[in-house]
């Protein structure tokens, strides 16, 4: 250290000024580099802190991929049991549902006098196909058709029921009724 001081003091004055300016410039340059590196490190640390929850979520998803696939398959199977598939033609879906409701009514002992498939109503992710059915028969038959509709798959939703007594001119003990039934089925999109 003493030899460096002797060398510097032995230098001419203008050389000492140049050396001092060079040392100061080198010191400022080192401070700038150190400041840039500290700033870069702080910014990287902050980005990493913001990314850690996202990374943890992605790792959680990666760990539960199989469970998510199994759940998706199970939900898909349940949807298939409750609604008509998206691949089915809309017109044939309506006709099939209409025939299913007619068969249920006839199997319950009701005489179907008319049925009509109404235009579909679009919803988020599925279409609702409405069907109107008119039939006549006994109250036991009405009860049987309602029980059959509850068990039907794909699911048949009952929108409204109108039951009107039919006048008995023959004074039969069994009361006949006219049934107006509005139902809906769902078709996936």
- Give me the mean pLDDT over the 144-154 stretch: 92
Residue 173 in this model has a pLDDT that exceeds 70: no
Q: Give the residues across from 111 on adjacent strands.
A: 136
Please state the pTM of the whole predicted model.
0.62
pLDDT of residue 45: 92
At residue 114, the 3 state secondary structure works out as strand
Q: Is the pLDDT of residue 162 over 90?
A: yes
Summarize pLDDT for 23-75 with one digit per residue, the tens: 999 999 999 999 999 999 999 999 989 999 998 998 988 889 899 899 988 98
DSSP 109: T
What mean pLDDT, rounded, does the chain reach? 90
Helix extents (H) in the chain: 2-10, 13-63, 65-82, 90-107, 139-151
pLDDT at 109 over 70: yes
User: Strand 126-138 relative to strand 121-123: parallel, antiparallel, unpaired?
Assistant: antiparallel
Q: How confident is the model at residue 2 (pLDDT cuts 50, 70, 90)?
A: confident
Quickly state the pLDDT bin for 88 (edges 50, 70, 90): confident
Those residues whose C-beta lies under 8 Å from the C-beta of residue 159, and which sit 6 or more positions away, are 130, 182, 183, 184
Place 172 in a pLDDT band, splitting at 50, 70 and 90: low
* Paired strand residues for 164: 178
Average pLDDT over residues 85-101: 91
Report in angstroms the alpha-carbon separations of 150 from 30, 153, 154, 155.
81, 9, 10, 8
- Which residues, at least 6 apart from 179, have a Cβ–Cβ distance to it below 8 Å? 105, 110, 133, 134, 135, 136, 137, 142, 145, 161, 162, 163
Per-residue pLDDT band for 94 (boundaries 50, 70, 90) equals very high
Q: What is the pLDDT confidence band of residue 176, given thresholds at 50, 70 and 90?
A: confident
Predicted local confidence at residue 158, as pLDDT: 94
What pLDDT band is residue 186 in, cutting at 50, 70 and 90?
A: very high
Tokens of 176: 């006949």
**Res 171: pLDDT:** 63
């Amino acid at each position: 250290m003493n030899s460096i001081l002797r060398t510097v003091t032995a230098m001419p004055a203008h050389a000492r000024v140049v050396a001092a300016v060079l040392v100061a410039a080198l010191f400022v340059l080192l401070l700038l580099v150190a400041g840039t590196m500290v700033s870069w490190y702080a910014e990287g640390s902050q980005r990493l802190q913001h990314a850690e929850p996202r990374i943890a979520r992605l790792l959680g998803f990666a760990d539960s991929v199989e469970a998510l696939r199994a759940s998706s398959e199970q939900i898909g199977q349940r949807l298939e049991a409750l609604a008509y598939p998206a691949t089915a033609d809309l017109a044939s879906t309506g006709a099939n549902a209409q025939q299913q409701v007619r068969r249920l009514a006839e199997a319950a002992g009701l005489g179907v006098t008319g049925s009509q498939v109404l235009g579909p109503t679009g919803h988020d992710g599925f279409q609702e196909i409405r069907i109107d059915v008119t039939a006549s028969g006994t109250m036991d038959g009405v009860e049987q058709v309602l029980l059959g509709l509850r068990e039907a798959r794909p699911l048949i939703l009952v929108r409204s029921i109108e039951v009107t007594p039919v006048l008995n001119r023959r004074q039969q003990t069994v009361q006949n009724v006219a049934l107006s039934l509005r139902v809906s089925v769902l078709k996936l999109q």
